[in-house]
């Protein structure tokens, strides 16, 4: 749990830094690729090439492609259609996906999470009830794809490490996570990237370096390691700890003119959906009682 709390603090500023200094200014594909490359370089010297089971290597590659590659490409694009507070609030769906995916991997099913997701969608509609434009819908869908792949990567890594008890230190194999992300990020930049929108200032380059080495490299490693030590219910709850922290940073520093009433009402409806899931979902209820 301590690792998850630490990374939550580490990530609290990331959404605002992307939304305020990079989105619309720096090509999103380049921003993601630079983060992947920096994080991969951080773990490259520690990567073990021999003696790693093929299934473990492939599994970590896939979780990296999902949790970092696809997630961040969709996340960065969503900033072109949504405000930073909206992006933060709509990441609140991730715990529902964590629960559903964990149930699927364990061959269980509960309709509670689906009902909770429907209620959360209603809350999202309240936040933009007078602005359900095509752009908003596009941004919302992009972010849900990011939420699903981020949840799948976390749960997948947790199950993968539980299955392969190799005795190899986790930091010796986590480089494969970023190599998997590179498989997604590099072709995306080559196909869709705009070389005319590279970082133009030292501040933008500095933010990318921080996001690549600290938020992505160190942050994703510690987050996934923390996920291995908690159950799925706790992991789902911790996914939402970032929301109030990130909103506080954004609203107090950069976005003081946001419609706080609408955000509060819509956010409350979304919070009710999470309470419903935690109260009535069998796995979540077991976690709360533990």
pLDDT tens, residue by residue, 181-225:
999 999 999 999 998 999 999 999 999 999 999 999 999 999 999
The residue to which tokens 């494969």 are assigned: 176
| Residue 242 pLDDT exceeds 50 | yes
Q: What is the pLDDT of residue 145?
A: 95
Q: Are 43 and 182 in contact (CB under 8 A)?
A: no
Calculate what percentage of the chain has a pLDDT beyond 90. Answer: 46
Q: For 134-175, what is each residue's pLDDT tens digit?
A: 788 899 899 999 999 999 999 999 999 989 988 899 999 999
Average pLDDT over residues 269-281: 70
pLDDT above 70: residue 85? yes
Mean pLDDT of 236-245: 67
> Over 70: is that where the pLDDT of 113 sits?
no
CB atoms near residue 189 (< 10 Å): 21
253-256, Cβ contacts within 8 angstroms, sequence gap of 24 or more:
253/16, 254/16, 254/19, 254/20, 254/84, 255/83, 255/84, 255/85
pLDDT at 287 over 50: no
Taking each helix axis from N to C terminus, what angle separates 232-239 and 282-289, rounded to the nearest 10 degrees?
A: 90
Q: What is the mean pLDDT of the segment spanning 246-275?
A: 69
Give yes or no for residue 284 having a pLDDT over 90.
Answer: no
């Amino acid at each position: 749990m301590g690792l998850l709390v630490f990374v939550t603090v580490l990530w609290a500023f990331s959404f605002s830094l992307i939304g305020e200094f990079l989105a619309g200014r720096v090509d999103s594909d380049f921003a993601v690729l630079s983060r992947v490359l920096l994080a991969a370089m951080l773990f490259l010297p520690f990567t073990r090439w021999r003696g790693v089971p093929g299934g473990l290597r492939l599994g970590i590659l896939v979780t990296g492609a999902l949790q970092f590659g696809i997630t961040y490409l969709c996340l960065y694009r969503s900033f072109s259609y949504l405000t930073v507070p909206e992006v933060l609030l709509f990441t609140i769906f991730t715990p529902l996906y964590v629960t559903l995916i964990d149930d699927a991997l364990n061959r269980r099913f509960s309709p509670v999470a689906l009902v909770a997701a429907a209620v959360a969608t209603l809350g999202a509609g309240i936040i933009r009830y007078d602005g359900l434009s095509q752009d908003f819908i596009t941004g919302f869908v992009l972010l849900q794809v990011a939420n699903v792949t981020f949840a799948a990567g976390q749960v997948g890594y947790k199950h993968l490490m539980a299955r392969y008890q190799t005795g190899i230190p986790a930091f010796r194999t986590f480089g494969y996570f970023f190599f998997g992300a590179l498989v997604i990020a590099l072709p995306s930049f080559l196909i869709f990237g705009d070389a005319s929108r590279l970082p133009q200032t030292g501040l933008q380059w500095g933010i990318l370096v921080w996001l690549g080495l600290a938020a992505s490299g160190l942050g994703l490693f510690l987050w996934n390691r923390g996920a291995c030590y908690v159950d799925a219910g706790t992991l789902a709850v911790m996914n939402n700890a970032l929301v109030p922290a990130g909103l506080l940073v954004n609203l107090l520093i950069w976005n003081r003119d946001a419609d706080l009433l609408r955000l509060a009402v819509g956010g409350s409806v979304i919070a009710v959906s999470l309470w419903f899931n935690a109260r009535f979902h069998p796995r979540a209820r077991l976690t709360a009682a533990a």
